[in-house]
Amino acid sequence: MARNKTCMFVGLISTAALSFFDPSVSAAAVVSDGAPLPQPEAYQQRLVDWIRAGPHGYFHPSVVWRRLGPGGTTGAYAMHAAADIPAGATLLVVPRGHTLDSFKTHDPCVTVARMLHEYDQGDGSFYAPYLSYLFDDTVGGTSTGLLPSSWSEEGQEILQDILGDGEERLEPEYYGHDSVFEACGKSFLAPHTKTPLTDARRRRLAEDAHLFWVSRSWTDKMIPVLDMYNHRNGASKNVESTAVHKDDSDITAYALRDIRAGEQLQNTYSECMDEDCGWGDIQYTYLTHNIFADYGFLEFYPRRWQLDGAVAEIDEDVDTGAKSFRWIFDRPSPDTLRWIEGQLARLRRIEDGIRTDVADHRTAAGGKHADRHNIDHEADSLLELYEGYVEVLARAVEHRDDPVGVTRPQFEQDLRAARAAAQYDEL
């Protein structure tokens, strides 16, 4: 799915924050000398300059990309606050003209075709800073092969071993996505409407563009830079944005709460209060395994897992590291508990084999098309998913008799209050 954003404080997020967004809280209030910080990579600076050059375009001068690895010298980049930023402060304004959409047809295939048409223009395209970040291997901005549906055959085989077989397998039961030629027709981008596209390079670019749409879009819209905030629910979430589906307005991201210097800026892919998230409806139905399938990573805590007929949540205190567990809506039935115990026993039984297979996969060539796959990412994700499932299944057994942590009436009441605070109560 596209970002049916695309997203908690324990319980419901404080969506009342949508009503306190204050455009007058400017960067000048938090930057001592007013000078914007330079970005570490040329493609990042190019994106920032492009956004700032647009009508009303804005990128907070104290926000900078930093690597997430040890010492900040390795690993993927993420946006961080280099100075304290107060709640309500504007972080980003994406001018409406900077978005890539389907020309109001609401057809994702048009969006994908438009991305490719603009990419063909190279630096002559207005969208070149964004599309170069997406497509070009040399810029270091992003990469293909992150979604399980585009993993190597070897990686998918190990994933199947973890999930199990038959009707009682672990989620995601289905992690595939239609190819662009299944979704948009065999003749998509072909010179003639009744003949398949045969050019290998064009087919590859079309598939890449479609996967970018799957993992980055708001329905039919691609929102540059806004789609570069990482996902986090819980107390670590600190970014919210205005609606993206109003075609006559810019899109603004702002500080949901006070943000301390050094914090990563993190948005939500599952608790957003807009139409893509059903104005909060999908909070307990679009779960950790869905995010894994649609975005290609195991989310940080809180994690919410579908365990047969029950939903279990594990959270982690950001300061102490202490873990908490709760059942969502219903306690597990006896049949569900037997299923949980059986899955835990199965995963523990295959642990040595899984770890050996993942180690071999990491050191192998990755099959015939290794250049199309991120083998280290596949290996890391497989271990994270395996260990995440073992953790939640073991804690579910331990907390089998705990009361329900969130009831349906409680959630519905909180959701009504949140919608009203966000001025969505008329919907």
* Domain CATH code at residue 74: 3.90.1410.10
Please tell me whether residue 339 adopts helix, strand or coil conformation: helix
What DSSP designation does 229 have? S
Question: Residue 367 — pLDDT band, cuts 50, 70, 90?
Answer: low
CA distance 285 to 7: 12
184 within a domain of the structure (yes/no): yes
Q: Average pLDDT for residues 120-135, to the nearest whole number? A: 95
Tokens representing 267 are 């948005």
Owner of token pair 């000398």: 33
**3: in domain:** no
Q: Over pLDDT 70: what percentage of the chain? A: 86
pLDDT band at 422 (very low <50, low <70, confident <90, very high): low
The mean pLDDT value for 112-127 works out to 97
> Into how many domains does the chain fold?
1
Q: Tell me, what's the pLDDT at 142? A: 57
Does residue 309 belong to any structural domain of this protein? yes
Q: What are phi and psi of 96, to 5 degrees?
A: -55, -35
Residue 225 lies in a domain: yes
Buried b (16+ CB within 10 A) or exposed e, 70-104: eeeeeeebebbbbbebebbbbbbbbbbebbbbbee
State residue 177's pLDDT score. Answer: 85
49/225 Cα distance (integer angstroms): 12
Q: Is residue 107 part of a domain?
A: yes
**Which of 2-11, 54-63, 90-99, 410-419 comes out lowest in average pLDDT?**
2-11
pLDDT computed for residue 193 by the predictor:
85
Per-residue pLDDT for 197 more than 90? Answer: yes
Question: What average pLDDT score do residues 341-351 get?
Answer: 97
pLDDT at 5: 38
Phi, psi of 303 (to 5 degrees): -115, 140
- DSSP of 282-306: GGGTS-HHHHHHHHSSPPPSSEEEE
Per-residue pLDDT, 28: 39
Q: Tens digit of pLDDT for each residue in 380-409? A: 999 999 999 999 999 999 999 999 999 999
Report pLDDT digits (tens) over 142-160: 566 788 988 999 999 999 9
pTM for the full model? 0.84
Domain that holds residue 211: 15-421
* 357 found inside a domain: yes
In a domain, 56, yes or no: yes
Residue 427 in any domain: the answer is: no
